Structure 1
Amino acid sequence: MCGILGLLYHDPNGDAAAEICEGLSLLQHRGQDACGIVTCGPKGRFYQCKANGMVRDVFDTNALSTLIGGMGIGHVRYPTAGSSHHAEAQPFYVNSPYGIVFAHNGNLINTASLLQFMDATAHRHINTSSDSELLLNIFADNLQKTGKFRINEEDIFTAIGGLMEQCKGAYACVAMLAGFGIIAFRDPNGIRPVGMASRKAQGPDTGRDYLFASESVVADASGFGDWEDVKPGEAVIITRNSVTRRIVAQPAPFAPDIFEYVYFARPDSVLDGVSVYRSRMAMGDALAEEVKRVLDENSLSVDVVIPVPDTSRVAALNLAQKLQLPYREGFIKNRYVGRTFIMPGQQMRRKNVRRKLNAMALEFANKNVLIVDDSIVRGTTSKEIIQMAKDVGAKKVIVASCAPPIRYSNVYGIDMPSRSELVAHNRDTASIAQTIGADLVIFQTLPDLIASVRQFNPSITKFDCSVFTGEYVTGGVDEEYLSRLEKIRADNTNAVRPNGIAGGADVVQESRELALGCSGPMNGADDTIGLHNSWKLS
């Protein structure tokens, strides 16, 4: 997962960088590996700062002072397959045609054929192992086909429509054209979120400022109103003089990723008309019924409900209230350790669980404890948490998951590429409990999870639930595809890349090997841009 943001001030001489930085900090939960901002100055020049690290560390006062201009885009990155070379930090840039900067959240599934097209037909060089750079070059190639020295909105819509015909998978994107404006678009299934908002420009100016962001919380915190989701298959073009929107893709089932509501999104965001907070409350209510049924079947009782902070708190509180059980904060969180799920590398996740959480014996000793978590993915965190509870004296540890068992790979931008890494894959509930050390595990049912979200926007008739069902809404994902992807990822994970970073390459690199028989990384030289110096592009 990643977070994307675009900002356009009506005043071209404004300073957008500081507000973009603040917005990215609100999206930090979506990616903690790298971040970047590119702004566009009054003369159409781009200024860049991007690096590995958290937003607060990369964008100090000196860095922000070099980012000139009243419009820009930003990105927080979470690598979906282990690569964390700083050359792959976004946004990406191409100078042909027109000068384009691009940021992307999601994952493509047909990178092999796209890379062949780039090499053999479009003759455009892809310099990193990021499918975001590939998407940018597909967009740029389609713009170049217009053959125009100056383009208009119609040309951009045509180019994005062509991109949507070529690119399969999940993608929510923001782009900026030098001296023109900002653009956002979303894949035909709307798997990944992005929305837009506006506000009255500050000062005597009567115009409006515009924002694109992955989540509505950015608009709320920055004083933007009239939040609207970009529709599936829609492109939105914003200049200082106009806002133009159009559906440019062929009709496809609208299927947002339900895991956004379970885990990734902030509870104070609204995605596709659904309050994440309300949906998690509903998950807790539904899970309470399942917990009661399973406990009765096993003749068990619990003394206290304890959430795994932070994502499961809302659901756990509702569950406790519905079952009339005490709710306690038994795990104290160190807020200076990042989200373990999105940390690159299994060893890093395992090591940081105990750094991140501390169990209070007062709430566990001599009690049957019901621990509520948002989901159980690899089981690494769950196993450590259960052991911590037992170490401080819990009699029995029962785990309730707000999500059903995750048994299948995610190919749309979540780091679940290998089925063998998933604790629920090829295991029943009893085996899962034994593997993670729980006395009992209780999972939310899929119909209850879907109902918990859909009740707040009945117009959503389908969700991407592929991690639970193995059914991929875009098609094009079969056993052969998954097996090859997993094999290449395993090979890369066991290798050390030439730049000294252990771990696998991103999906573009994997697909390039599938398509072209390459061995080793793509032509990825180190990013030579000074990380805290402006990068000017004419």
Structure 2
Amino acid sequence: MEKNIHEDCGVAMIRLLKPLEYYQEKYGTWMYGLNKLYLMMEKQHNRGQEGAGLASVKLSSEPGNEYMFRERAEGKNAVTEIFANVHKHYKDFSQEKLSDVSFVKANLPFAGELYMGHLRYSTTGKSGLSYVHPFLRRNNWKAKNLCMCGNFNMTNIEDIFEKLTDQGQCPRIYSDTYLLLELMGHRLDREVERNFVDAQKLGLTKRDITHYIEEHVQMSNVLKTTMEDFDGGYVICGQTGSGEMFSIRDPWAIRPAFYYIDDEIVALASERPVLQTTFDLECEDIKELQPGQALIVNRRGECSLQQILEPKERADCSFERIYFSRGSDRDIYKEREQLGRQLTEPVLKAVDYNTTHTVLSYIPNTAEVAFYGLIHGFKEWIDARKVEQLSALGDNPSPDELYNIIRQDVRSEKVAWKDIKLRTFITEGTSRKDLASHVYDITYECIQPYKDNLVIIDDSIVRGTTLKESILRILDRLHPKKIVVVSSAPQIRYPDYYGIDMPRLEEFCVFRATIALIRERGMEHLLKEIYEACKKELEKPKNDAKNPIKNAVRAIYKPFTVDEINRKIIEMLRPEGMTTPVELVFQSVEGLHNAIPKHRGDWYFTGNYPTPGGMRLVNQAFINYYEHVHPTLSEA
């Protein structure tokens, strides 16, 4: 109900397969790749509004001249800012000079053949330009320069940190991005040195060795020796100073990546519609990068798909379909519509099948398509009742009888409006809480007070903060007979360790409600049992296939039904003084799988983490919770 689940990061890559002169002649500008990257990043603005960066590699450069370029910025306008900064380099040159490709290649930055962009949403809460991708690792050897960005969150950084220190390295920063860059850079160094030895064996010397290295670097070797130990969801993109480009997807297919190849370009993005719109393509033109697979383009422009890691059981993130990705994707639109449509029966039950006095609405904006699905479901139900009523009229129905039947329809209104954004400079508690209650506004007199039920649908309910502080309070001003809050996603019970770093279980309203039920019913012993079980799970050897780590936290929900938890959530979130009856309706896990059959990554809802790292982190999260709440008991 509130946007506390944020977007994942977005990536975009373009490799021009023709000389810049080709694009100047065909498209009227050598900036074809740069312009397309801008479009791809703007089309993925939904995936990150905290920062953005771009990088470019120029293949034809002489010693003493820069060949790798990077621009980064923070803030929601970062995409505009970084491209404006790039174009500042060109403002003092005449159009004649800017059309002279030979001059451009020799003198202007970002006039390259490789382009890479990143949109950032922080999964760790860390901010500052130093955390904005792409990351860059410099070296005097072109082939050893590495620029990297990605959409990822790794769950086993402790293991990777230990591996690096065992190699004798001393990392300066403890973060998954930095450690990945250093580990991959270390492996790239070894690959370059392997080719250096091979070149010497062939009798090559001086710059001939350099040319040999740049033509024979195998990024597949680098990726295989870098990524084998990582646990998490990721799409990692990179480019080297010598002109290698690559993107690799995690073996569980948790994070998404799509690509397109023709004789002019290779392009990759986090979402399929981005490529469709940018390059005017059909769905069938675009391919999905497969689990553990890498798309690699060498400096000669030769493309290959290589299996770097053994594919695991697929766990494509279902929340990509519910919320993260844009709804303009053909399949995602259908899936979100189905999520709403199949909630028809439980919503009808919640309003006692009284469609005459029920108004449907939604919380802007990501629930809009599910809202349409719910409307379609209501319409189908009403149409079926019309058929029954018409059939029962007999041979000579009166015009009034016919009219009363055919006029029955779905009632829908835009009830809620996203009005203002809470200003963070106000920190005083009472003032801040009062402002939060005005984040949304309503359409006044859009329902009949005390007669109409109001159904409001959103994509998810996470913490419940906005529901308590704003939504319920402001909807109550309309004086509906009943408010039914609908989530097109199931109850969110567990953190996501593969995209959004939200490690504390107590942040989720479903968890808090369950804890309250346990205490009400005198079942505190269950918490102690789960705590001990979590500790035993963490004692298991890592990566033990015969005795894999399990999610012991799941036991906390077993004693209760969804409806019991729902009622407790409403009791906890109901604003003081509110008297309107409120009911919660969640999507079922079975309904989720029915609507989104190809994306089975449902750990948010079921706790079925696809990787050992996810299982370890959720057990640790409960231990952290228990030891904070019961410090003396945890020591016993």
Bucket of the pairwise TM-score, normalised by the shorter protein: 0.7 to 0.9
Report the 3-state secondary structure (helix = DSSP H, G, I; strand = E; otherwise coil) of the residue aligned with 2:186: helix
Alignment TM-score, normalising by the size of structure 2: 0.67
Q: Percent identity?
A: 24
Q: Quote how far apart the aligned CAs of 1:186 are.
A: 0.2
- Counterpart in 1 of 2:613? 476
Contact 2:358/2:411 (<8 A) preserved: yes
Contact 2:14/2:267 (<8 A) preserved: yes
From 395, 398, 401, the equivalent of 2:484 is 398
1:6 aligns with 2:13: yes
- For structure 1, the 5+ residue unaligned runs are 200-206, 341-345, 455-459, 492-538
- Counterpart in 1 of 2:530? none
1:243, 1:386 → 2: CA distance? 54
From 424, 432, 436, the equivalent of 2:510 is 424
Contact 1:93/1:101 (<8 A) preserved: yes
1:422-475 CA distance string (max 9 Å, x none): 111152111112233370000010011111011xxxxx4x61111111121012
Q: Quote how far apart the aligned CAs of 1:321 are.
A: 2.4
Q: Quote how far apart the aligned CAs of 1:391 are.
A: 2.8
What are the within-5 Å matches in structure 2 for residues 312-461 of structure 1? 312-324=367-379, 325-333=410-418, 357-364=440-447, 366=449, 367-383=452-468, 384-427=470-513, 428-437=565-574, 439-454=582-597, 460=598
Paired letter, 2:295: V
Q: Quote how far apart the aligned CAs of 1:417 are.
A: 2.0
- Counterpart in 2 of 1:237? 296
Q: Quote how far apart the aligned CAs of 1:380 are.
A: 1.9
Report the 3-state secondary structure (helix = DSSP H, G, I; strand = E; otherwise coil) of the residue aligned with 1:73: strand
- Counterpart in 2 of 1:88? 131
Report the 3-state secondary structure (helix = DSSP H, G, I; strand = E; otherwise coil) of the residue aligned with 1:253: coil
Report the 3-state secondary structure (helix = DSSP H, G, I; strand = E; otherwise coil) of the residue aligned with 1:184: strand
- Counterpart in 2 of 1:213? 269
- Counterpart in 2 of 1:59? 82
From 216, 222, 230, the equivalent of 1:159 is 222
Q: Quote how far apart the aligned CAs of 1:82 are.
A: 1.4
Cα distance change of structure 1 residues 245 and 267 upon mapping to structure 2, 3 Å threshold = same
Higher share in helix: 2
From 31, 37, 52, the equivalent of 2:48 is 31
Cα distance change of structure 1 residues 152 and 308 upon mapping to structure 2, 3 Å threshold = farther
Cα distance change of structure 1 residues 39 and 220 upon mapping to structure 2, 3 Å threshold = same
Contact 2:144/2:188 (<8 A) preserved: no
- Counterpart in 2 of 1:98? 144
2:315, 2:434 → 1: CA distance? 35
Q: How many residues are paired up?
A: 464
Cα distance change of structure 1 residues 71 and 251 upon mapping to structure 2, 3 Å threshold = closer
1:317, 1:94 → 2: CA distance? 48
Paired letter, 1:87: S
Q: Quote how far apart the aligned CAs of 1:316 are.
A: 0.9
Q: Quote how far apart the aligned CAs of 1:214 are.
A: 0.3
2:316, 2:430 → 1: CA distance? 31
Report the 3-state secondary structure (helix = DSSP H, G, I; strand = E; otherwise coil) of the residue aligned with 1:123: coil
1:81-121 CA distance string (max 9 Å, x none): 21112210001011256211111112101100101222331
Paired letter, 1:483: Q
Contact 1:370/1:399 (<8 A) preserved: yes
Paired letter, 1:167: F
Report the 3-state secondary structure (helix = DSSP H, G, I; strand = E; otherwise coil) of the residue aligned with 2:571: helix
Q: Quote how far apart the aligned CAs of 1:309 are.
A: 1.1
- Counterpart in 1 of 2:329? 269
1:311, 1:248 → 2: CA distance? 35
2:269, 2:219 → 1: CA distance? 20
Report the 3-state secondary structure (helix = DSSP H, G, I; strand = E; otherwise coil) of the residue aligned with 1:361: coil
Cα distance change of structure 1 residues 349 and 303 upon mapping to structure 2, 3 Å threshold = farther
1:230, 1:350 → 2: CA distance? 45
1:247 aligns with 2:310: no
Q: Quote how far apart the aligned CAs of 1:154 are.
A: 7.3
- For structure 2, the 5+ residue unaligned runs are 1-7, 21-29, 90-108, 197-212, 380-409, 514-564, 575-580, 629-636
Paired letter, 1:46: M
1:417, 1:209 → 2: CA distance? 40
2:432, 2:602 → 1: CA distance? 24
- Counterpart in 2 of 1:519? none
From 116, 123, 147, the equivalent of 2:162 is 116
1:395-441 CA distance string (max 9 Å, x none): 42210100110011111112432110011115211111223337000
2:504, 2:138 → 1: CA distance? 36
Q: Quote how far apart the aligned CAs of 1:356 are.
A: 5.4
Q: Quote how far apart the aligned CAs of 1:258 are.
A: 0.4
Contact 2:41/2:79 (<8 A) preserved: no
Paired letter, 2:84: T
1:288 aligns with 2:295: no
1:193 aligns with 2:256: yes
From 130, 135, 138, the equivalent of 2:180 is 135
Cα distance change of structure 1 residues 260 and 185 upon mapping to structure 2, 3 Å threshold = same
From 354, 363, 370, the equivalent of 1:308 is 363
1:51, 1:486 → 2: CA distance? 38
Paired letter, 2:130: A
Report the 3-state secondary structure (helix = DSSP H, G, I; strand = E; otherwise coil) of the residue aligned with 2:167: helix
Q: Work out which of the two has the higher radius of gyration on C-alpha atoms and give 1 or 2.
A: 2
Report the 3-state secondary structure (helix = DSSP H, G, I; strand = E; otherwise coil) of the residue aligned with 1:447: helix
- Larger RCO (alpha carbons 8 Å, 6+ apart): 1
Paired letter, 2:67: R
Report the 3-state secondary structure (helix = DSSP H, G, I; strand = E; otherwise coil) of the residue aligned with 1:166: coil
Paired letter, 1:227: I
